[in-house]
Amino acid sequence: GDSVTQTEGQVALSEEDFLTIHCNYSASGYPTLFWYVQYPGEGPQLLFRASRDKEKGSSRGFEATYDKGTTSFHLRKASVQESDSAVYYCALSPDSNYQLIWGSGTKLIIKP
Amino acid sequence: DPKIIQKPKYLVAVTGSEKILICEQYLGHNAMYWYRQSAKKPLEFMFSYSYQKLMDNQTASSRFQPQSSKKNHLDLQITALKPDDSATYFCASSQDSGAGAETLYFGSGTRLTVL
């Protein structure tokens, strides 16, 4: 079945560090890929999405590129801030099914 | 102003009791969902509704019953509560629930603790 794998359960960085959170997926065809962010005490909210191979999604300094060859959609940010502390979820919407499939989430901790 | 209102924000219940979680959305969306979040399962899909009709149910237990009195309401009734039901329950909505990639909009959740 379709799946999303986030390998890092938690990432701890200092301000201005470079961030990478890995997301790999397994799905047939061309699923739509998402990154959602969840701040403490809130529900997840969409960061951005991408629907085609090589498409780059971006928002608030975060970006990810849809790579069908490596089945990846890694989240990156050049310089993190304390306000980026949150849980980040990678998700996919399969071709023929509207139901989102979620990764296990990565908690980002930014040390001031 | 929050566009998806969930009530209450916190809820404490005793084992065996029944509770109703309230959700209203003011985004004009046609599809609504319930998700559960706990330490065991970060985000677990429970139900989806479209135009007040049940589209998908991934909840094994019949103790969980969604109730839709209006298009923009989707409450969740939980009966015979168990400590394992303790979690944060999120309501979400999307414009439609057809095939394709709908962006979900989440409420801020109801944190349920069952003693």
- Contact B100/A45, CB-based, under 8 Å? no
- Contact B108/A42, CB-based, under 8 Å? yes
Tell me how far apart the alpha carbons of residues B62 and A10 are, in angstroms, rounded to a whole number.
Answer: 35
Average pLDDT of chain A?
Answer: 94
Name the residue among A93, A96, A104 with its Cβ closest to that of B42: A104
Tens-digit pLDDT profile for residues A77-111? 999 999 999 999 999 988 656 678 899 999 999 98
Instruction: Select from A73, A51, A53, A52 the least CA-distant residue to A63.
Output: A73
Question: For residues A47 and B40, which has the higher predicted lDDT (pLDDT)?
Answer: A47
Tokens of A45: 């909210």
Weakest mean pLDDT among A21-25, A58-62, B91-95: B91-95
Tell me how far apart the alpha carbons of residues B14 and B23 are, in angstroms, rounded to a whole number.
Answer: 22
Tell me how far apart the alpha carbons of residues A39 and A60 are, in angstroms, rounded to a whole number.
Answer: 14
pLDDT for the residue A97: 62
Give the confidence band of A28 by pLDDT, cuts at 50, 70, 90: confident
pLDDT for the residue B60: 81
Residue B97 one-letter amino acid: S
pLDDT along chain B (115 residues), means of 10: 91 97 95 91 88 88 93 95 96 78 90 97
Window 51-70 of B: residues touching A by CB (8 A cutoff) are 56
